[in-house]
Amino acid sequence: MTDLVKVEATTAQALLQHIDISDEGRPSLVPDTAPEVSILRLMEAGCYADAIKLLALGLPKRESVWWACLCSRDIQTPETDENNVKALVATESWVKKPSEERRLICRQLGEATGHKTPASWAATAASWCHGSLAGPGEPAIEPPSHLYAHAVAGSVILAASMSDPVKPEQAFSRYLQQGLHLARGGSGKPA
C-alpha cells in the first residue's frame, strides 16, 4: 500500500518506460511495486536526480509543475532577472488556472529565458502540458503525455544544484520531501 494518493501509476514500471535512470540508480528500482518504493530507495541510495524524475512523472501535471514552481521560488533572489521572475509568476498563474492563453505566455517566457534556469524549465513544463508544440499557423503537434515531467525534473534538479553547488544533497532532500508532500495530497510545503 502506498500513501502517494496523487500518483495514479500502480507500478514503477508504468513510469520507467518514459524516463532514463542512471546506472547507479538501477539497483534501487523495484519495477513491479508502487512507484513510492523505488522513489524512496533511490533517495536512500543518494540517486536524487533519478528519484526526482520518477516523482515528476508520477505526479499529475499541475502538481508536478507546482513542484517546479516551489523549487524555483526557493532559489529566487532580489538579483533574479525580470524575465525569470515573469516566467515563474506566469507558471504559478497557469497552475492556479490552466488555460491556453496562460500556457502560451509560459511558452514565450520559457523561450525568452533560454531554458537555463529553474523558472525557465518550470514555464516550459507548463507549456508542454497541453496545447500544441507547433508555432502559430503550423499544424498542431500534441506534446507526448510525459514530456512535461522532463522539464519539471530539469527545473527541480537545477534548483537544487543552484541552491548549494558544492553540497546540493540537503536541497535535493528538501525538494524531494516537497514533491512527496504533494504526492500525498498536500500543498508541497511540509511542516
Dist. CA 98–CA 148, nearest whole Å:
14
Dist. CA 8–CA 35, nearest whole Å:
9
Residue carrying C-alpha cell 527541480: 156
Whether pLDDT at 107 is above 70: yes
Dist. CA 178–CA 159, nearest whole Å:
13
Amino acid, single-letter form, for residue 25 = G
Q: What is the pLDDT of residues 131-142, one digit of tens each?
A: 999 988 899 999
- What one-character DSSP code corresponds to residue 47? -
Is 153 contained in some domain? yes
**At how many degrees (to 10) do helices 169-183 and 147-163 cross?**
140
Segment 25-46 mean pLDDT? 98
Is 30 contained in some domain? no
Q: What is the pLDDT of residues 74-102, one digit of tens each?
A: 999 999 999 999 999 999 999 999 999 99
Q: What is the pLDDT of residues 118-129, one digit of tens each?
A: 999 999 999 999
Is 125 contained in some domain? yes
Is 90 contained in some domain? yes
**Mean pLDDT score of the chain:** 96
Cβ atoms of residues 103 and 88 within 8 Å: no
Q: Which domain holds residue 95?
A: 61-165
The x, y and z cell numbers of residue 74, run together, are 526557493
> How many C-beta atoms surround the C-beta of residue 3 within 10 A?
11
- Residue 189: which pLDDT band, with cuts at 50, 70 and 90? confident
In the chain, DSSP finds a helix count (H) and a strand count (E) of 9, 0
> How many C-beta atoms surround the C-beta of residue 9 within 10 A?
15
**What pLDDT, on the 0 to 100 scale, is given for residue 112?**
96
Non-local (6+) Cβ contacts of 167 within 8 A are none
- Count of the separate structural domains present in the chain: 1
**What pLDDT, on the 0 to 100 scale, is given for residue 1?**
60
**What pLDDT, on the 0 to 100 scale, is given for residue 97?**
97
Compute the Cα dihedral for 5, 73, 102, 139 and give only its sign. negative
Is 128 contained in some domain? yes
